[in-house]
Amino acid sequence: MEYFNIRFREMSDDEFDKFAKWNIVDYSQDLVKSGLCSEENAFESAKKSFNGLIPQGKYTKDNFIYVVVNRENEDVGFIWYQKYKEDIAFICDFLILEKFRKQGYGKQTLLLVEKEAKEKGLNKILLNVFKYNKSAFSLYKSLEYKIRDEEAENISMLKNI
């Protein structure tokens, strides 16, 4: 059995509200940085995408939004994934806070998602990563995610679990 140095806890309503605001701003910046959207249109595009994926907020069916907590009970990041298709989980957003990076929390988080997704009857995990995000891409490759598709500045990766 695998041993995890982290656990997931559900976000409170206040945490989710902060997460939603942060997510929209961060994704809009990613859209600009990747060249997929102009600065003028990025915020509205990110907001539309977020609201389309999660119309009932954290209560949207088949969405799993967690704070990642370490053994010292510190919040080290978050993960949001959803049941995308009958047997596929899609990682919508994933972040380990800067001060906790390069300590194995990212890898542990993805492995725990795999375990939880399997328990939910899912057997694949899909995610997208921007090409400029080389550290995230390296992490996914190290965990045997395979490139499924490349389009513009985006790479789609898939792993059978």
Domain residue spans of the chain: 6-160
Give yes or no for residue 26 having a pLDDT over 70.
Answer: yes
Give yes or no for residue 139 having a pLDDT over 50.
Answer: yes
* Cβ count within 10 A of residue 90: 20
For 108, phi and psi rounded to 5 degrees? -60, -40
Give yes or no for residue 2 having a pLDDT over 80.
Answer: no
85 pLDDT band (50/70/90 cuts)? Answer: confident
What number of H helices and E strands is found in the chain?
Answer: 4, 7
Q: 109-137 b/e with 16+ CB inside 10 Å = b?
A: bbbbbbebbeeeebebbbbebbeebeebb
pLDDT in tens, 52-62: 999 999 999 99
d(CA 3, CA 98): 23
| Percentage of residues in the chain having pLDDT higher than 90 | 92
6-160, CATH topology level: Aminopeptidase (3.40.630)
Give yes or no for residue 3 having a pLDDT over 80.
Answer: no
d(CA 119, CA 105): 21
1 pLDDT band (50/70/90 cuts)? Answer: very low
